[in-house]
Amino acid sequence: MNIKEAKTEIINTIRAYNKKDDQGCYTFPLVRQRPILLMGPPGIGKTAIMEQAAAECGVGLVAYTITHHTRQSAIGLPHIEARVYQGKEVSVTEYTLSEIIASVYQCMEETGKKEGILFIDEINCVSETLAPTMLQFLQNKTFGSHKVPRGWVIVAAGNPPQYNKSVREFDIVTLDRVRKIDVEADCDVWMEYACRQEVHEAVLSYLRIKKENFYTVENTVDGKFFVTARGWEDLSEILKSYEEFQIPVTESLVSQYLQKEETARDFAAYYQLYRKYGTDYGISEMLEGRLSDEEYREKGDMAGKGGFEERFTVVNLLLGALHTEFAGFAKKEENLTALHEALGYLKSYIRDHKETEDIKAFIRDRKNSLEIKTEAGLMRETEIRKENWVIGKLEEYYLNLKKEHVQSGTEGFEKIKIYFAGETEKRGREIEEILKRTERGFSFVEAAFGDSQEMVLFVSGLTQDDKAIDFLSVHESPLYLKWSEKLLYRKEEEKLLEECREEESMLES
- For 209-291, where are the E strands, in sequence order? 216-220, 223-227
User: Is the distance from CB of 363 to CB of 399 less than 8 angstroms?
Assistant: no
pTM: 0.75
Q: With pLDDT > 90 as the criterion, what percentage of the chain qualifies?
A: 40
Outline where 353-465 has alpha helix (H): 358-375, 381-403, 409-449, 453-463
| Rounded Cα–Cα distance for residues 412 and 416 (Å) | 6
The confidence score (pLDDT) of residue 506 equals: 62
Predicted local confidence at residue 219, as pLDDT: 74
Name the 3-class secondary structure at 172: helix
DSSP summary character for residue 157:
E
d(CA 201, CA 152): 38
Q: Are strands 216-220 and 223-227 parallel, antiparallel or unpaired?
A: antiparallel
Identity (one letter) of the amino acid at 21? D
pLDDT of res. 503: 59
pLDDT in tens, 414-435: 999 999 999 999 999 999 999 9
Q: How many CA atoms lie within 13 A of 367 on its CB side?
A: 11
pLDDT band for 326, please (50, 70, 90 cuts): very high
pLDDT digits (tens, 9 = 90+) for 351-396: 877 778 888 889 999 999 999 888 877 788 889 999 999 999 999 9
Using CA atoms, how far apart are residues 461 and 466, in angstroms rounded to an integer?
A: 10
Are 366 and 345 in contact, with CB atoms under 8 Å apart?
no
- Chain mean position to CA 20: 29
User: Whose CA is closest to 251, among 240, 263, 243?
Assistant: 263
Better-scored residue on pLDDT, 161 or 184: 184
Task: Give the tens place of pLDDT for each residue, 340-353.
Answer: 999 999 988 888 77
Q: Which residues contact 352 (CB under 8 A, 6 or more apart)?
A: none
Q: What pLDDT, on the 0 to 100 scale, is given for residue 509? A: 55
Of the pLDDT bands very low, low, confident and very high (cuts 50, 70, 90), residue 72 is low
DSSP of 56-76: HHT-EEEEEEGGG--HHHHH-
